[in-house]
A and B are shown apart, each in its own frame.
Chain A
Amino acid sequence: MTTDENTSDRTPGMIDRREAIMRVTALLGGVALVGGNALLTGCRDADTKADNKASAAAGIDAPFTAEDIAFLDEVADTILPETSTPGAKAAKTGAFMALIVTDSYQPGDQKVFREGMRKLDEASRKAHKVSFMAATPQQRLTLLEALDREQKAYSDNRDAENRKKAEQFLPDQRKEASKDAAAPAAAITADPPAHYFRMMKELALLGYFTSEIGYTRALRYEESPGRFDPCVPYRPGEKAWAGHA
């Protein structure tokens, strides 16, 4: 047993920003300390000028079309389909994903996302000989399950590498944190992940669970709970209470 006199030699590792915020946001749910939720964020503020040039070259300044949004709706609805509660398409998740990519993503990330839409469609044609939009729900699901495994392996690998690098923490390194006030939206909009399907998945999750349908149908939401019960019984299957407004 450790006592006051012992000092752990544990090296603090930098944890993945997204993972950190997701985890700690939940556990500090309700803690609105100014600066009270110290969360690590990735280093962003990359070379925006270079990004801008790259994006112009890639022609990604064109706005998302109705077809693009319909495509994103189907991607989101495959990740989060209608079950006993409405699916992502009903919550207009495709339009939300397009909005965040347009307004919040840096040009370089926008490019990854846009190319990802093309890659996803190509993967459908390769796997099922049919475009994603023409694929059956089962074909779509099979495809996205494969892409999900791909992005998970890629992201986990990348996180592990970042964690190694982070041990040589540079004090002048630029970091942007978020807090539970606006997280996870703040986290997700502040620092997109590297893999296009991870982008799509997290934007679909954010768009769906923070929509009116997400708050009031998928989850339980009380605008003004009126009281705090620190300990109540929970039975498996009961929906989670949605986070703060």
Chain B
Amino acid sequence: MPIRNRHEDAMQDAIQDTSYDAIVVGSGISGGWAAKELTEKGLRVLLLERGRNVEHIKDYVNATKAPWQYPHRGGRTRAMEEMYPVLKRDYPLNEKNLDFWASDKDSPYTEVKRFDWYRGYQVGGRSLMWGRQSYRWSEFDFEANSKDGVATDWPIRYADIAPWYDHVERHAGIAGSSEGLPQLPDGKFQPAMPLNCGEELVAGRLAKLFDGRRRIIPGRTANLTRELTGRSACQYRDACWLGCPYGAYFSTQSSTLPAAAKTGRLTLKPFAIASEVIFDRDRKRATGVRVLDAITNQTTDYTARVIFLCASTLNSTWLLMRSATDVWPGGLGSSSEELGHNLMDHHFRTGAQGNIEGLDDKYFYGRRPTGFYIPRYRNLFGDKREYLRGFGYQGGAGRQEWSRAVAELGVGGAFKDAMTQPGRWEIGATAFAEMLPNHANMVSLDPTKKDKWGLSVLKIDCATGENERLMRKDMTADMADMLEQCGIKNVNTYDAGYFPGMGIHEMGTARMGRDPKTSVLNAHNQVWDALNVFVTDGSCMASSACQNPSLTYMALTARAADYAVRDLNRRNI
């Protein structure tokens, strides 16, 4: 039996108290970490979540459903497409976890240019559906803006965040291998989920061909290979977007919320839309958060000494823009005129694939919830391209399944029996690439459009630029070249096209920096103009690197929480 670690039902009841030590806005990956760290350091914390509660295990309604029990077997229907006009643009629209994605109808936004915004409005946020790939950033990433003269310098370096990566990796549980790569630092890993024999074969050839400069490593993933308190090790079901009944992948529910609840100092409030940070212009600090009840539409003010905004990249910025407008028309944090600007994502959806020969007598068992990773090699170690920065690849190898039958000629018994057997081995990978910060890529409040609750919505104006276009050529061609050199047959490239937001790695709009004139947040994620307001989700990013960002949000959040509590104790904030 899986070990249950439900948070206490009682903590949501009878929330009469409106005064706390700290308020955390948002219960996703960053908010869960803020709640855990702040409560463990002795603060009484109110955790606000705009959506419904999702209780660990109990509310994972499809987690143990058999695949054949879905009427459309996981596919989409016209009714679903009508309900979710944005979500339908990509994979999130599916029958299996539709309830975890925010309603496009209730919460619209305005696209000046196409921007796919895939949101999760419930307790746990997108930590329930995330891809779980967890990679540290390196010194190359933190010094890149400064070296390239792009945007503004990060106010921190790798050494500042490294101990916090250690801290969050130990608690979250990251399976990975130590590789000694300067561009992708090793962490405090659980044992890796190994490469399968197809991947191993190609990994060996690639390492030899490129003398180790390019290599295939096991995807580092927030899935347990060893149990942790209250959480079982992965059962290799590979259904991680449904909520895990074993608590084997990191989510707010499996990891940070139980830790916060255990302190007895957490109050979780679902259906609570933070609509404004209340700002005291005389004392230059926030005094609390105005909350709109999503069910009753009633407004309540909650007070606290410190406020963490972890509402997701664009929503934390939206909240700042709605706050302290009597002092700054552009909102709290807008004095630098950078609030809302420098929106980034990772561009991807291009790569190559082909067939591996000579392994027909090999197979694998179990459904591993990760693939392989090829760390960045471009514009590093003497390589110089016509664009800045670089990309990594995420991919996998496996044997064809029955679905190959669609494109093959054949009907009848012999055809059917052949399709019940595994097909040839295939391998492929998709590039995930850095997008440069650009002041012109921005969000603002739409003066006319409102959401279901009458709140103004965001207007998003974002596009990729020349650097991304140039890099994309390598992203496609490099994979094909590597596969061909590794003896892979029938190599095909693909470019499925990309629009900002599709990576679901939105970053920036309230960047950290060294100067209040050019950045929104300081080196400890404090809003320059209100030092007791911390923004620790993806909004704070000053560049995007090419690694999946969530692990960095966790580490920055834990680091900021530590600083906040020390500063509170010093009575500085």
Contacts and interface: CB of A to CB of B under 8 A. Distances in A.
B494 A20 contact: yes
**What range describes how many residues of B lie at the interface?**
35 or more
B409 to A, nearest CB: 5
Interface residues of A, number: 117
Nearest to B413: A83
Interface in A71-103: 78-85, 87, 96, 99-100, 103
B348 A35 contact: yes
A244 B91 contact: no
Tell me whether chain B's interface is mostly helix, strand or loop, or mixed.
loop
Contact of B236 (A24, A179, A226): A226
B241 interface: yes
A241 interface: yes
Contacts of B195: 230
Given A80-B416, A179-B91, A38 B494 contact: yes
A165 interface: no
Given A15-B492, A186-B75, A228-B368, A152 B409 contact: yes
Nearest to A152: B409
Contacts of A228: 193-194, 236, 364-368
A26 B219 CA distance: 17
Interface stretch (A4-12, A112-120, A124-132): A4-12
Contact of A22 (B403, B417, B473, B494): B403
A228 B235 CA distance: 8
A27 B91 contact: no
Contacts of A188: 75, 406
A128 B28 CA distance: 63
A33 interface: yes
A104 B81 CA distance: 9
Contact of A237 (B240, B421, B502): B421
Interface string B481-499: 1001100000011111100
A190 to B, nearest CB: 6
Nearest to A206: B73
Contacts of A96: 73
Contacts of A181: 74, 91, 94, 96-97, 241
Find the residue from A31, A78, A100, A177 having the highest chain B CB count within 10 A: A31
Interface in A183-238: 183-186, 188-190, 198, 201-202, 205-207, 209-212, 214-215, 218-219, 223-238
A242 B410 CA distance: 21
Contacts of B193: 228
A30 B68 contact: no
Contacts of A198: 406
B91 A35 contact: yes
A240 B401 contact: yes
A33 B68 contact: no
17 contacts: A8-B478, A9-B477, A13-B493, A30-B238, A32-B238, A35-B503, A38-B496, A39-B494, A85-B417, A100-B75, A104-B78, A174-B89, A177-B91, A185-B95, A188-B406, A230-B195, A245-B238
The 8 residue pairs across chains A and B that have the minimum distance between CB atoms: A189-B75, A34-B131, A38-B349, A8-B477, A182-B94, A27-B426, A179-B91, A185-B75
Given A29-B401, A81-B412, A82-B413, 15 more contacts: A10-B476, A23-B428, A26-B400, A27-B427, A28-B428, A31-B394, A32-B240, A35-B349, A38-B351, A87-B416, A103-B79, A176-B89, A182-B76, A186-B76, A206-B73
